[in-house]
């Protein structure tokens, strides 16, 4: 039974794809904490207790117990929580508030995603300083090495990670084994640290150190960075493998942190604690460990990059983000995607962060604000969902977690003047783009004045029966066939282009994450029919293949384009976004030789 429960393939894959970020946090968490406070035995015991209970409350309870049991079909992420909650809400104000929370959550996730590769790779590279003969390596050299690794990582994204992803799991299994074994060996320095599992050590520290004790939580949160990936990646791997893998990862992390604590009690002068602990235990194995740590941080960064690609795709399909060119990097897995513009913008941001902060210890002063913000927003939506569902016991537990996440968030606010503002500035970019795009689309829809179907049909019947028709079929794309976009009557009635068969194609994203259905739903009149494609909001599909399977052999595909004329600064930005992003037919990669754009000039 136990062997079946801890079935290896799913667990190994989870360790490679989900736990890279949280798995590499022992590299810098303890070091960051004891840059701020002296390494006395009492402080070490207090910090160990806070770390273990932070992992328990913010990861085990919030994500594995609460969030991961909310979805219907094993899906996860901020947008999924929003889609679960929206049908449960009653007023428009509540819907708007939750939509705003989701946008803030997505933006913070992206802001966090820029810092993760920078701090992970830089902190691992700094382990070079312990190699004999390399102690005086200039920080600029370490920054250059970290930058080269980051450039290499982002450069291979276009080729897809499928070819090397098979190795991610086994590498991370080795990493967690090394963390656990090294932690166990170090426990002999001060075996009493095992008693730090008692939460009273953490509580006593907080109550006896006043504001200093409160602010240290902004460094303790670093142990839980990447915890949100458990939920965000659930749609790819399923709930059970991730939860079971977390039990093993939690044990490995707890043992390693306890070992670091014991080592620090015995060596209070240590600075780069994990690396110095390994160096003292096994000097001959230090360089292999250093290389393993660099590979582990690359895997952690890869997971974050894939997560950002995934959440941006969800944003596109739920129509809160503009269309972007999507490349499918795997012939077998449609979920393996690459977004060119996002990839290179992320790389530029990561390199900028490395240049600005220079060292991993400086980065820890900025890291954690976006993470705690994301966790707090997740907790709000979890509590709201549980209240609406009437799950009383879970609501009480979730409310306790919400309180804890807000305590961490408030503690992290003091990081803003010390570099935390950069994660907010980075998060503000997608936040502004989303708000401009959503409101711009709403105003554009009003300005385009779509034609009601009742007005369109009589004119279509008249033109269809009196004009010479072109043989074959033409496709027209419309979000809602009851409100005909202006480009369709302009094509048919102004330009006198009408085919024997005219098919209006509607692509409709459902409230469910998965599922694809399609077909001719109605024939409105002779020569005019509706073909509807219903897609789950996390589905990645080939529209061309669906049309082919439906035996639609179109001669031409028409789509609408807008030439936006405006003096308003915000709408100029919106116009630039529309101009730079692909149309719906380009997004779904329909045959280039068949598509014809019909331009409509719009004043906003």
**Residue 5 pLDDT:** 43
Q: Which helix (H) or strand (E) holds 189?
A: none
Q: In whole angstroms, how far apart are CA 13 and each of 242, 464, 476?
A: 9, 58, 43
Domain containing residue 572: 451-603
> Does some domain include residue 246?
yes
Going by C-alpha positions, the residue among 179, 314, 298, 156 that lies closest to residue 234 is 314
And the tokens for 323?
């269309």
> Does some domain include residue 445?
no
Confidence at 61, pLDDT banded by 50, 70, 90: very high
Confidence at 295, pLDDT banded by 50, 70, 90: very high
HSE-CB at 436 with a 13 A cutoff on CA atoms is 18
Confidence at 335, pLDDT banded by 50, 70, 90: low
Q: What is the arithmetic mean of pLDDT over 561-584?
A: 88
What are the residues facing 195 on neighbouring strands? none
Q: Is 162 a residue whose pLDDT tops 70?
A: no
| CATH number assigned to the domain comprising residue 559 | 3.40.50
Q: Which of 440, 474, 490 is the last residue of a domain?
A: 440
Block residue for tokens 């070091």: 31
Please state the pTM of the whole predicted model.
Answer: 0.85
Confidence at 11, pLDDT banded by 50, 70, 90: confident
Is 361 in the same domain as 502?
A: no
> What's the total number of domains in the chain?
2
Q: Which helix (H) or strand (E) holds 221?
A: none
> Does some domain include residue 271?
yes
**Residue 504 pLDDT:** 92
Is 426 in the same domain as 458?
A: no
**Residue 2 pLDDT:** 43
Question: Average model confidence (pLDDT) for the chain?
Answer: 87
> Does some domain include residue 425?
yes
Q: Which of 380, 412, 440 is the last residue of a domain?
A: 440
The rounded distance, in Å, linking the Cα atoms of 363 and 368 is 10
Is 187 in the same domain as 293?
A: yes
Going by C-alpha positions, the residue among 211, 154, 143, 136 that lies closest to residue 362 is 143
Q: Is 123 a residue whose pLDDT tops 50?
A: yes
> Does some domain include residue 434?
yes
Q: Which helix (H) or strand (E) holds 542?
A: none
Q: In whole angstroms, how far apart are CA 153 and each of 70, 163, 360, 450?
A: 34, 14, 19, 46
Is 417 in the same domain as 468?
A: no
What's the pLDDT tens digit per position in 534-552?
988 777 788 888 888 888 8
Is 484 in the same domain as 410?
A: no
Is 320 in the same domain as 455?
A: no
Residue 592 CA to chain centroid, in angstroms? 31
**Residue 235 pLDDT:** 60
Q: Are 278 and 264 in contact (CB under 8 A)?
A: no
Block residue for tokens 């929370």: 101
Q: Considering the chain, what percentage of its residues have pLDDT values greater than 70?
A: 94
Is 365 in the same domain as 254?
A: yes
Q: What is the arithmetic mean of pLDDT over 165-190?
A: 90
Is 362 in the same domain as 484?
A: no
Is 184 in the same domain as 67?
A: yes
The rounded distance, in Å, linking the Cα atoms of 477 and 505 is 5
For the chain, first and last CA: distance in Å? 65
> Does some domain include residue 446?
no
And the tokens for 239?
């709930």
Confidence at 4, pLDDT banded by 50, 70, 90: very low
**Residue 195 pLDDT:** 95
Is 160 in the same domain as 179?
A: yes
Q: Which of 440, 472, 504 is the last residue of a domain?
A: 440
**Residue 256 pLDDT:** 97
> Does some domain include residue 570?
yes
Is 97 in the same domain as 19?
A: yes
Q: How many CB atoms lie within 10 A of CB 338?
A: 20
Block residue for tokens 């979730």: 398
Is 98 in the same domain as 203?
A: yes
| CATH number assigned to the domain comprising residue 19 | 1.20.1740.10
**Residue 81 pLDDT:** 84
> Does some domain include residue 267?
yes
């Amino acid at each position: 039974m136990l062997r079946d429960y801890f079935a290896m393939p799913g667990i190994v894959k989870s360790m490679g794809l989900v736990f890279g970020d949280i798995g590499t946090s022992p590299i810098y968490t303890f070091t960051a904490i004891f840059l701020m406070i002296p390494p006395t035995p009492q402080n070490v015991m207090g910090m160990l207790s806070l770390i273990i209970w932070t992992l328990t409350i913010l990861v085990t309870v919030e994500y594995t117990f609460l969030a991961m049991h909310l979805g219907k079909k094993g899906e996860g992420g901020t947008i999924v929580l929003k889609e679960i909650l929206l049908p449960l809400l009653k007023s428009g104000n509540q819907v708007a508030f939750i939509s705003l929370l989701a946008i803030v959550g997505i933006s913070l996730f992206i802001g966090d995603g820029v810092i993760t590769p920078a701090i992970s790779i830089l902190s691992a590279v700094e382990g070079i300083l312990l190699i004999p003969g390399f102690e005086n390596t200039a920080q600029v050299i370490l920054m250059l090495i970290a930058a080269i690794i980051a450039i290499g990582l982002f450069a291979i994204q276009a080729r897809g990670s499928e070819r090397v992803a098979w190795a991610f799991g086994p590498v991370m299994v080795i990493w967690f084994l090394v963390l656990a074994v090294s932690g166990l060996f170090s426990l002999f320095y001060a075996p009493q640290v095992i008693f730090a599992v008692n939460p009273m050590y953490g509580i006593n520290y907080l109550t006896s150190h006043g504001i200093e004790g409160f602010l240290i939580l902004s460094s303790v949160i670093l142990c839980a960075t990447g915890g949100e990936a458990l939920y965000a990646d659930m749609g790819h791997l399923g709930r059970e493998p991730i939860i079971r893998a977390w039990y093993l990862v939690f044990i490995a992390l707890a043992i390693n942190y306890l070992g670091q604590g014991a080592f620090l009690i015995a060596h209070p002068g240590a600075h780069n604690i994990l690396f110095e602990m390994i160096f003292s235990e096994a000097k001959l194995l230090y360089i292999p460990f250093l290389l393993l740590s660099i590979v582990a941080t690359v895997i952690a960064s890869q997971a974050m990059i894939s997560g950002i690609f995934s959440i941006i795709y969800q944003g596109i399909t739920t129509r809160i983000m503009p269309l972007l060119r999507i490349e499918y990097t795997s012939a077998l897995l449609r979920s393996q995607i690459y977004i060119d513009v996002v990839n290179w913008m992320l790389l530029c941001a990561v390199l900028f962060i490395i240049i600005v902060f220079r060292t991993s210890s400086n980065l820890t002063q900025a890291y954690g604000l976006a993470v705690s913000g994301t966790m707090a927003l997740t907790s709000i939506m979890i509590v709201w969902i549980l209240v609406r569902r009437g799950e009383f016991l879970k609501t009480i537990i979730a409310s306790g977690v919400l309180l804890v996440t807000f305590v961490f968030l408030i503690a992290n606010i003091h990081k803003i003047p010390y570099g935390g503002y950069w994660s907010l500035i980075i998060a503000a970019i997608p936040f502004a783009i989303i708000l401009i795009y959503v409101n711009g689309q709403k105003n554009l829809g009003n300005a385009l004045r779509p034609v009601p179907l009742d007005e369109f049909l009589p004119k279509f019947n008249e033109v269809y029966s009196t004009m010479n028709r072109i043989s074959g079929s033409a496709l027209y794309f419309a979000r809602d066939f009851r409100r005909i976009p202006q480009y369709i009557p302009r094509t048919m009635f102004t330009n006198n282009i009408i085919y024997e068969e005219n098919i209006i194609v509607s692509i409709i994203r459902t409230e469910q994450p998965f599922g694809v259905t399609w077909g001719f739903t109605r024939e409105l009149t002779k020569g005019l029919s509706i073909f509807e494609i219903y897609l789950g909001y996390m589905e990645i599909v080939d529209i061309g293949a669906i049309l082919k399977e439906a035996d639609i052999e179109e001669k031409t595909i028409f789509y609408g384009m807008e030439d936006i004329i405006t003096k308003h600064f915000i709408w100029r930005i919106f116009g630039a976004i529309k101009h730079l992003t692909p149309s719906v037919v380009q997004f779904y990669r329909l045959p280039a030789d068949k598509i014809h754009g019909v331009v409509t000039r719009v004043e906003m």
